[in-house]
Amino acid sequence: MNQDKPIFAVLGAGHGGKAMAADLAVRGFQVRLFNRTYERVDMIKRRGGIELETEQGERLFGPIQTVTSDISEALDGADVIMVVVPATAHRNMATLCTPHLRDGQIVVLNPGRTCGAMEFRQVLREQGCKAKVVVAEAQTFIFASRSMGPVQAKIFRTKNAVPLAALPATDTPKVLTALRLAYPQFIPAKNVLHTSLDNMGAVFHPALTILNSARIEDTGGNFEFYHEGVTPTVARVLEVVDRERVTVAAALGIRTITALEWLQQAYAATGENLYEAIRANPGYSGVKAPRSLAHRYIFEDVPMSLVPIASLGEQFGVSTRAIDALINLASILHRTDYRRRGRTLDKLGLEGLSVSEITQYVEEGTLREGP
Amino acid sequence: MNQDKPIFAVLGAGHGGKAMAADLAVRGFQVRLFNRTYERVDMIKRRGGIELETEQGERLFGPIQTVTSDISEALDGADVIMVVVPATAHRNMATLCTPHLRDGQIVVLNPGRTCGAMEFRQVLREQGCKAKVVVAEAQTFIFASRSMGPVQAKIFRTKNAVPLAALPATDTPKVLTALRLAYPQFIPAKNVLHTSLDNMGAVFHPALTILNSARIEDTGGNFEFYHEGVTPTVARVLEVVDRERVTVAAALGIRTITALEWLQQAYAATGENLYEAIRANPGYSGVKAPRSLAHRYIFEDVPMSLVPIASLGEQFGVSTRAIDALINLASILHRTDYRRRGRTLDKLGLEGLSVSEITQYVEEGTLREGP
């Protein structure tokens, strides 16, 4: 690795990937931008980069040397591979990468949702990947950003601190070192169970979308998602989902913060209960509901966040009735079996493992083959 | 029994009970009106009856001889006991009645929801009722009616045909004969499995209330419950709930009409799917959503309609995932374990029985004791 300026591959040219590629490029990093569908990046290739509007309102140009839909070209020579795609595409991305990965490369899922790094690693194993790579996951995406046109991206906000863990955790320092120059905002999480289970989207997104489903579809999402879509009674469902998440984590020996604690930490929003804290959060003001039910709050958060939590709960005897109910209703609303498509423990190579075996895996990387 | 004019007891003085008592009284039937809470009927007692506004807009007075919160006074001498209380009160009403029932009396649940007559019979057995009574359930309430004041009731509409079955079905003719003069609208259903499973409220009410829960609580129900609260995607949940109901019925050897068929029969509303048929139904126009989530669409329909359907499904190997999800979410929304409070097969005396044993019970009244 180039110790001073690592070379980045950014996989995915959506709202997140374009912003990250542009942001790295304007700051002088070499970037290879990959997108599976070439049409999506053709204009960037022609233009030679991406126009970025920064948080401060500056308009800068980030020159991008390599723009490609050829994964081998994207990965060749990259030190850090930033995966910036919906979690539903992580499996496919891992399959695409496998033949082209080289010893020492670092893969970071931005973010992993729940058990993203475990799924990525499992695919590498299944595909017989020989390269010694590092796989890590961020707990959330570092930017609030949006694609503003074919070669335009805008960053609204950069988060101050984004927990990140490698799988195994012994690799986390390597990742932070490699990222330090580009993104000092990344801070170490204890291990991927923490980044995976401190997933607040899992608590808020599917429940609120489902309990507002008729209104979303009837009005095209024309209401305040949090300030009108959360009522005292509806907030009870969020609280039970949150309690199930926290209890599953506890069964794995992990202490996660509650959604109430998170609202206080992230937004200084306080209250006796989730309803009060959400209403007290001015950060939610003006946030509209999804425009339709065909939204990642269901098609990403259900299979990639709720399903792995429910699957862990099942293996370790934690009832996840509220989460199960949401998975089932989401499956009906979308006519999709999200449990089958989601991250269940068998797909993560964790089926039948004990808590201490899983802990050993996330900490040290030793994985006993399941039954 | 007085063959010409049976004497009625009406149990319950809510929207339904007051209308029925007044309607019977204005037509010259002797009525004993019972309500557990005396304060609710004190004014009727003082006034000597109920003022009824009929479907045709006439204002009539129905004189009521006996107005009481003493169940023995209400039942004494009554030929037909019309139970007009929420299904959640059927168990308690059966317990209250047991010591005072006499041979030959006829009890009609208006309506039974799902398995109301079975629950009533089971309570009579548990309480050691010795009287040979007839127990029947109507599939729906005969009126659309409303209490308009302490001594006022209004009937908006009288249904043309209301299926009714006794438990056992061999008693159904007795009930129809007794009711013929008062309510020729009652028609025979094959047995109580039909009246119980042809329960359209079970399909529409809980699912629509839950999938509109945030909007109901946020707006106080100020939107069109069917024409805005049912969207193409939300209607899929109704369809799956309906399919589960129909499949549970099929497992019991019963053919029930689908919700789509029912919309066509009851309203001549047609469509390719439930969404289209509901939108095409002018009868739903102007029907507002419940004003709050503390509504019988949840607290009655979940334990007394969805829970028995799910419980039958469980015993006979029919998956009821959508219904289960709704029961679980309702339980969380209301902080009430509706499965525990609801009509499960153990409470109905049906646990462990085969389909042929249940069929024999509903047809002939022979009940093998469960395991």
| Res B350: pLDDT | 96
Distance (Å) of CA A185 to CA A30, A60, A106, A179, A191:
20, 21, 17, 9, 17
Instruction: Give A-chain residues touching B234 at CB under 8 angstroms.
Output: 213-214, 217, 333
Q: What is the pLDDT of residue A330?
A: 98
DSSP-derived 3-state class of residue A61: strand
Instruction: Give A-chain residues touching B325 at CB under 8 angstroms.
Output: 324-326, 328-329, 332
Q: What is the pLDDT of residue B370?
A: 56
Go through chain A and tell me how many residues it has: 371
Q: Is A106 on the interface with B (CB under 8 A)?
A: no
- Residue pair B191/B363 in contact (Cβ under 8 Å)? The answer is yes
Confidence of residue A47 (pLDDT cuts 50, 70, 90): very high
**CB of B262 closer than 8 Å to CB of B232:** no
| Cβ of residue B235 closer than 8 Å to a chain A Cβ | no
Distance CA A341, CA A328 (A): 13
B contact residues 313-342, partner A, Cβ 8 Å cutoff = 321-322, 324-326, 328-329, 332-335
Q: Strands B106-109 and B80-83, how do they pair?
A: parallel
Where would I find the H helices in chain A? 15-26, 39-47, 71-75, 90-97, 116-126, 172-179, 192-197, 200-211, 213-219, 232-251, 259-267, 274-279, 296-299, 301, 307-315, 321-333, 338-341, 345-348, 355-364
ipTM for the predicted complex: 0.90
Helix H or strand E segment including A136:
strand A134-138
- The per-residue pLDDT for A252 is 97
Would you call B214 and A215 a contact, using CB atoms and an 8 Å cutoff? yes
Best residue of B218, B278, B292, B326 to probe chain A, by most A CBs closer than 10 Å: B218
Rounded to whole angstroms, how far apart are CA atoms B225 and B215? 10
B contacts of A335 (beta carbons < 8 Å): 236
Report helix, strand or coil for A15: helix
Q: Which residues pair with B68 in a beta bridge?
A: B34
The closest alpha carbon to A362, from A245, A203, A254, belongs to A254
Q: B291: closest CA among B368, B223, B221?
A: B221
Contact status, residue A114 vs residue A140, Cβ threshold 8 Å: no
Q: What are phi and psi of B227, to 5 degrees?
A: -80, -20
Looking at chain B from residue 187 to 216, which residues have their Cβ under 8 Å from any Cβ of chain A?
A: 208, 210-215
Collapsed DSSP state (helix, strand, coil) of residue A334 = coil
Q: Is B44 on the interface with A (CB under 8 A)?
A: no
Contact A211 B211 (CB under 8 A): yes
**Which of these ranges, A10-24, A357-371, B149-163, B287-301, has the smallest mean pLDDT?**
A357-371
Partner A contacted by B232 (CB < 8 A): yes
Spatial CA neighbour of A33 closest among A13, A51, A52: A13
pLDDT at A1: 52
Query: For chain B, which ranges sit under pLDDT 70?
Result: 1-3, 370-371
Query: Which residues in chain A are contacts of B332 at CB distance < 8 A?
Result: 236-237, 240, 321-322, 325
> Which chain A residues contact residue B228 at CB under 8 A?
214, 218
Residue A357 CA: distances (Å) to CA of A250, A315, A361, B2, B99 = 16, 13, 6, 78, 63
B205 catalytic residue (yes or no): yes
Q: Note the pLDDT of residue A367.
A: 85
Q: Does B279 touch chain A (CB under 8 A)?
A: no
Q: What pLDDT sits at residue A2?
A: 53
A301 CA to centre of own chain: 9
Q: Are A54 and A60 in contact (CB under 8 A)?
A: yes
Q: Determine whether A205 is an active site residue.
A: yes
pLDDT tens for A82-134 read 999 999 999 999 999 999 999 999 999 999 999 999 999 999 999 999 999 99
Instruction: Quick: pLDDT tens for B65-109.
Output: 999 999 999 999 999 999 999 999 999 999 999 999 999 999 999
Query: Residue A314's pLDDT is what?
Result: 97
Residue of A205, A218, A242, A324 with catalytic role: A205
For residue A111, cis peptide bond before it (omega within 30 degrees of 0): yes
pLDDT digits (tens, 9 = 90+) for A249-301: 999 999 999 999 999 988 899 999 999 999 999 889 999 999 999 999 999 99
* Distances B30 to B58, B66, B67, B93 between C-alpha atoms, Å: 21, 9, 12, 21
Establish if B295 touches chain A: CB-CB under 8 angstroms.
no
Cβ-defined contact of A213 to B234 (cutoff 8 Å) = yes
Residue A306 contacts B, CB cutoff 8 Å: no
Per residue in B226-262, pLDDT (tens digit) is 999 999 999 999 999 999 999 999 999 999 999 999 9
Do B157 and B146 form a contact (C-beta atoms < 8 A)? no
**Mean pLDDT for chain A?**
96
Tell me which residue of A205, A279, A297 sits closest to A242, measured CA to CA: A205
Model pLDDT, residue B371: 55
What pLDDT, on the 0 to 100 scale, is given for residue A371?
54
Structure confidence by residue, pLDDT tens digits, A190-241: 999 999 999 999 999 999 999 999 999 999 999 999 999 999 999 999 999 9
